[in-house]
Amino acid sequence: MRTQIVVGNWKMNNSISESIALAEAVAAGIADIPLNCEAGIAPAFPALGQVASAISRSPLQLAAQNCHFEDNGAYTGEVSTSMLKSAGCSWVILGHSERRQYFGEDNQVVNRKVKKALAAGLKVILCVGETLEERESGVTETIVNTQVREGLQGVDDVSRLVIAYEPVWAIGTGKTASKEQAEEVHASIRATLSELYGSQTAEGIRIQYGGSVKPSNASELFAMPNIDGGLIGGASLKPEDFIAILTACK
Ligand code: PGA
């Protein structure tokens, strides 16, 4: 039985003080409720250290939204895995479609980051997903499974890996994949993981859904057999919505 996992991806939002306030509100909101899932938040880089302190007594885990694939050196503007760990992160989100779309990250770059982050002892959320054009031309599963295969090239130990299936057309658009559409892709990803790592290992890997998850649709999505929680953008910026989504875990 896989423990579901829900992570809030705050993207490029919130000052440091706003981030602390949001983290404290989420931590306070879940303090008295039984959590059936792992829960995390991913603030922007400048807020990581102080948010780590704000959630230190809460079950919330800290995630970063990106990292670089080298240890250190002349990479102006980049942040390394050891910096993330020293800020208190246990997770890093990699290959988000916004990184792929706006910052030119391809499967090979994502793969270098995945390997670096896992080697550094971080847990990784590897994001995959098709564009609307790709869905309409019937290549969703080819695209997504290529992202999985190439993103995991040379990765042997997947015990600290989570996959997030995020159809690009559903991110920030208010359009959610139906539970059946999402389940179909999740099952296909699991079949690919099974080919790569064997069925027993594949059965243990969590696959989150992301793309306009809200309190009103979280329960039906999270009830599907291959959907193991969510990566939440917009709704994670509102503590009451994020908490409602956390409580939708089975
Ligand atoms: P959204 O974003 O929930 O705002 O659609 C999800 C994501 O990009 O991780």
Structural domains present in the chain: 4-246 (3.20.20.70)
Q: Is 247 in the pocket of ligand 1 (CB under 6 A)?
A: no
Compute the distance from residue 156 Cα to the ligand 1 centre, in Å: 29
Q: Is 234 in the pocket of ligand 1 (CB under 6 A)?
A: yes
pLDDT at residue 92, rounded to an integer: 99
What's the pLDDT band for 240 if we cut at 50, 70, 90?
very high
185: buried, middle or exposed (CB in 10 Å: 19+, 13-18, 0-12)?
A: buried
Compute the distance from residue 87 Cα to the ligand 1 centre, in Å: 24
Q: What residue's CA is closest to ligand 1, atom 2?
A: 233
Q: Is 229 in the pocket of ligand 1 (CB under 6 A)?
A: no
User: Does residue 250 surpass a pLDDT of 90?
Assistant: no
Residues serving a catalytic function are 96, 166
pLDDT at residue 108, rounded to an integer: 98
pLDDT at residue 1, rounded to an integer: 83
Q: Is 231 in the pocket of ligand 1 (CB under 6 A)?
A: yes
Q: What residue's CA is closest to ligand 1, atom 7?
A: 233
- CA pair distance 20, 54, nearest whole angstrom: 6
48 close to 89: Cβ distance less than 8 angstroms? yes
CA neighbor of 216 nearest in space, from 184, 179, 171: 179
Ligand 1 atom nearest to 213, measured from its CA: 3
Mean pLDDT within 43-71: 98
**Three-class HEC string of the chain:** CCCEEEEEECCCCCCHHHHHHHHHHHHHHHCCCCCCEEEEEECCHHHHHHHHHHCCCCCCEEEECCCCCCCCCCCCCCCCHHHHHHCCCCEEEECCHHHHHHHCCCHHHHHHHHHHHHHCCCEEEEEECCCHHHHHCCCHHHHHHHHHHHHCCCCCCCCCEEEEECCHHHCCCCCCCCHHHHHHHHHHHHHHHHHHHCHHHHHHCEEEEECCCCHHHHHHHHCCCCCCEEEECHHHHCHHHHHHHHCCCC
Ligand 1 atom nearest to 231, measured from its CA: 9
Q: Is 221 in the pocket of ligand 1 (CB under 6 A)?
A: no
pLDDT at residue 31, rounded to an integer: 95
How far, rounded to the nearest angstrom, does the alpha carbon of residue 197 sit from its chain's CA centroid?
21
- Please count the residues of the chain: 250
Mean pLDDT within 16-24: 98
Compute the distance from residue 171 Cα to the ligand 1 centre, in Å: 5
- CA pair distance 210, 233, nearest whole angstrom: 8
Q: pLDDT digit string (tens) for 59-96?
A: 999 999 999 999 999 999 999 999 999 999 999 999 99
Q: What sign does the CA torsion over 156, 95, 82, 230 have?
A: negative
What's the pLDDT band for 146 if we cut at 50, 70, 90?
very high
Q: pLDDT digit string (tens) for 172-185?
A: 998 889 999 999 99
pLDDT at residue 236, rounded to an integer: 98
Arithmetic mean of pLDDT over the chain = 97
Write the CA distances from 110 to 65, 99, 100, 226, integer angstroms. Answer: 13, 9, 9, 24
Please report, rounded to a whole number, the percentage of residues in the chain having pLDDT higher than 90: 96
What's the pLDDT band for 169 if we cut at 50, 70, 90?
very high
Binding residues for substrate: 9-11, 172, 212, 233-234
Token readout for 210 is 């992301």
pLDDT at residue 222, rounded to an integer: 97
User: Does residue 101 surpass a pLDDT of 90?
Assistant: yes
pTM beyond 0.85 = yes
Please report, rounded to a whole number, the percentage of residues in the chain having pLDDT higher than 70: 100
Q: pLDDT digit string (tens) for 25-35?
A: 999 999 989 99
- CA pair distance 211, 154, nearest whole angstrom: 28
